Amino acid sequence: MTTSPITTAWESLPLNIRRAAEEAVGNLRPMSHAEILLVIAQAIAAERQRLKISHDDGGKRG
């Protein structure tokens, strides 16, 4: 069986990242362009917040 480049890239990500992505998206279903943008924007915002907290406490909470 041949896997697509997307499947290969997905499976190469750490499991915790894949689980977080699945949680953010919810049930697999077709998504509108706006929904996809929202999920990506929320992930970026969460990562920036995580980095800000990490930076603010001197990197004690990774």
Q: pLDDT value at position 61? A: 53
- pLDDT score of 33: 92
Whole-model pTM: value is 0.57
Question: Hey, what are 7's tokens?
Answer: 């499947």
Residue pair 54/62 in contact (Cβ under 8 Å)? The answer is yes
Whole-number Cα distances in Å, 55 to 2, 16, 51, 58: 43, 22, 6, 5
- Give how far the C-alpha of residue 28 lies from the chain's centroid of Cα atoms, to the nearest Å: 15
> In this predicted structure, what is the pLDDT of residue 60?
63
Q: Is the dihedral of CA 18, 12, 46, 32 positive or negative?
A: negative
pLDDT of residue 25: 78
- Residue pair 18/10 in contact (Cβ under 8 Å)? The answer is yes
The rounded average pLDDT for each run of 10 residues, N- to C-terminus, in the chain (62 residues) is 89 92 80 88 90 79 50
